[in-house]
Structure 1
Amino acid sequence: MTIRNSIILTILPLIFLASCGESPKEKQKSTVEVEAKKDSVQIDSTEIKKEKEFVLTEENAIDFFFQYQKDLKVDKVKITTRLGSFTIQLFDNVPYHKANFIYLTRKGYFKDTQFHRIVKNFIIQGGNSDDVKTGRKRSEIGRYLLPPDTRKGHKHHRGVISMPSSEINNPHMLASPFEFFIVVTKPGSYHLDGDFTPFGKVIEGMDVVDKINSVEIGEGDWPSQNIYIQNAEVVE
């Protein structure tokens, strides 16, 4: 073998190695950078925010409202409809139901819900709607029921606001927290006592409640023309 051929055979492997691209260390470094970049985009700030948002449940609702009512300095809510406004004063000795109503009002739940059930000379019932956004608001606030509180001496006099019980698998008559009804009957509907929880009364605008009760109704006691709650606000 000549010296020239020997030199060529020595150089060729070096050229081959040089053409193979990254060295093992460079390849390892590049892989780490790719993995780091990949991991950095997996954290979704929206998901973190959702995890931190408070949602009421059957397990935490009573404890939450027990604490919430301790600092409540308000007891009135004003409800506005296209037929006018009326003001409700909530009873202090029904703390969970009072706190629930104030909380939902402050969360903006009642706005754009409807008086969806009108029974002539008996009640008007509100807090529900056939709009999709009402169901969405309920999901965001949480799914829970409230225990009845019927032994505080309150009766279903005319103008009293009370909370209906849930109709779904509810042998203990737990209250549906998103809805309420107001008694229109003179002097009252006392057959409801003991089954439902009165938690306040209309102190102003009972004539508006009567107007709502007098509207034309269709099938299922639903008003022929929707009666939206245009606004519900805590009277500070």
Structure 2
Amino acid sequence: MFLRLLIPALALLAACNPAPEKPAAAPPPPPGPDIAALTDSTAPAALLTYSRQYPGSEVLFETRLGKIRVKLYDDTPIHKANFLLLARRGVFTETVFNRVVKGFAVQGGQTSDARTIRLRIYRLPPEIRPNHFHVKGALGMARYDDAENPQRLSSNTDFYFAVGKKLTPAQARASASRPLTPAQVQAYATRGGVPALDGAYTVFGEVTEGLDVVEKISQEPVDPRDKWPTHDVGMKVTVVK
């Protein structure tokens, strides 16, 4: 009789005190290299390996002013792979368009967030190609400290969209830092851009949709001291193809 009463009691006790759940397994680390461990010398090989394993060709910027779709070039593979890696890790989502110069360019990829500043420990070798030029909507990578950067290594996070203005063939040729093809002269006349930057910075992509959004960003009111928009223009950047 005692055993009969004890078994239901034990069952009731177990129901009231279930076994503790096992802690959920930690999610696997995202694929690709450890960004914080990359250096100027190790980044190129690591990024090229990443691009072969996890290819991509298009990214989408979402901002409060609209969306911008960008095609990344295959013949600038290091810059392309770096941008894909940082986009997939959500790095750009923590940044803003931090420098807007009307009639010139809108620059993004920087913020006061400690994580982004730490990512600037590595830079990218230049991949300047004669067929890529600074027509309006061109995506390029900034660089810093030219006096101490004779190799003209690019920033890994600070990118820009060329804006500029429409130029006559004579104006385009006069301001260009290298010879322009007839097609490039025509593009600067019909679309506009900044030929003075050609041959000096790596262009690694172009806007395919949302050029009007780039224009809207370029018209944002800014602090006259540092050209930072008075109302932050943040972004979410995702790989879409």
TM value normalised by structure 1: 0.72
Distance in 2 (alpha carbons) for counterparts of 1:216 and 1:200: 26
SS of match in other structure, 2:50: helix
SS of match in other structure, 1:221: coil
2:172 aligned with 1:166: no
Of 204, 211, 222, which aligns to 2:209? 204
Partner of 1:146: 124
2:228 aligned with 1:222: yes
1:56-135 equivalences under 5 Å are 56-129=38-111, 131=112, 133=113, 135=114
Structure 1 residue 208: Cα displacement = 0.7
The residue type equivalent to 1:143 in the other structure is: I
2:163 aligned with 1:184: yes
Distance in 1 (alpha carbons) for counterparts of 2:120 and 2:127: 21
Q: Contact 2:138–2:162 at 8 Å: present in 1 too?
A: yes
Structure 1 residue 102: Cα displacement = 0.4
Distance in 1 (alpha carbons) for counterparts of 2:197 and 2:120: 27
1:4-15 equivalences under 5 Å are none
SS of match in other structure, 1:161: strand
Distance 1:167 1:105, change over 3 A: same
The residue type equivalent to 1:88 in the other structure is: V
Partner of 1:235: 240
Distance in 2 (alpha carbons) for counterparts of 1:142 and 1:217: 25
Distance in 2 (alpha carbons) for counterparts of 1:79 and 1:177: 17
Partner of 1:17: none
Pairs aligned (count): 180
Distance in 2 (alpha carbons) for counterparts of 1:60 and 1:222: 33
1:11-90 equivalences under 5 Å are 54=34, 55-90=37-72
* Percentage identity across paired residues of the two chains: 37
The residue type equivalent to 1:205 in the other structure is: G
Unmatched tracts of structure 2, length 5 or more: 1-28, 166-191
Distance in 2 (alpha carbons) for counterparts of 1:73 and 1:85: 22
Distance in 2 (alpha carbons) for counterparts of 1:227 and 1:116: 8
Distance in 2 (alpha carbons) for counterparts of 1:76 and 1:65: 17
Structure 1 residue 138: Cα displacement = 4.5
Q: Contact 2:130–2:199 at 8 Å: present in 1 too?
A: no
Superposition CA RMSD, Å: 1.8
Distance 1:138 1:103, change over 3 A: farther
Partner of 2:17: none
Q: Contact 1:94–1:152 at 8 Å: present in 2 too?
A: no
TM value normalised by structure 2: 0.70
Q: Contact 2:120–2:156 at 8 Å: present in 1 too?
A: no
SS of match in other structure, 1:220: coil
Q: Contact 1:93–1:152 at 8 Å: present in 2 too?
A: no
Structure 1 residue 59: Cα displacement = 2.8
Structure 1 residue 137: Cα displacement = 4.0
Greater shift, 120-129 or 178-187, is seen at 178-187
Distance 1:213 1:57, change over 3 A: same
Deviations 1:204-236 (A, max 9, x none): 01111111100111121111111111x110003
Structure 1 residue 81: Cα displacement = 1.1
SS of match in other structure, 2:203: strand
Deviations 1:179-215 (A, max 9, x none): 1000112321111011100000000011111111001
